[in-house]
Amino acid sequence: MIKSYVIISLLIISFATQAQTTLQLPSDSLKTDLLLLRKDVDNIKINLGRSENRFKTGIFVSTLGYSIVITGGLMLGRKNDELGKALLITGGATGVTGTILLVDAFRFLGIASGKKQSRRR
């Protein structure tokens, strides 16, 4: 009778140690997956921060440029006609530059989403 208890207890101990070794493997892979997920989230936050700053700069420059265009357009046909023409050109160039900055901000959103950038040539 004691022999059967000893055998049963040895079997239980061997199953318990085997179960512990198999349970440790998924926790290691889970840890690795969590670390990779954290790295991805941090990368997304960085790219969103970059995108936000560029987006704000683009909005400011575009607004400034197109406001200058409006001011230049209002000056046309008056005594400051030459200044109005210069403001139209300068404001247009500034507005286009701001629009390019806005489009560039969306590039970082694409990077954050994990999509590969394709360049058309």
Q: Helix 2-75 to helix 81-113 angle, to the nearest 10 degrees?
A: 170
Model pLDDT for residues 60-115, shown as the tens digit of each residue: 999 999 999 999 988 888 888 889 899 999 999 999 999 998 888 887 777 666 66
Check if the beta carbon of residue 71 is closer than 8 Å to that of residue 94. Answer: no
Model pLDDT for residues 4-16, shown as the tens digit of each residue: 666 776 667 776 6
In angstroms, rounded to a whole number, what is the distance separating the alpha carbons of residues 117 and 107? 8
Reply yes or no on whether the pLDDT at 2 is more than 70. Answer: no
In angstroms, rounded to a whole number, what is the distance separating the alpha carbons of residues 35 and 25? 16
Domain boundaries in the chain? 35-113
Q: What is the pTM of this model?
A: 0.58
Buried/exposed code over 5-23 (b: 16+ C-beta within 10 A; e: otherwise) = eeeeeeeeeeeeeeeeeee
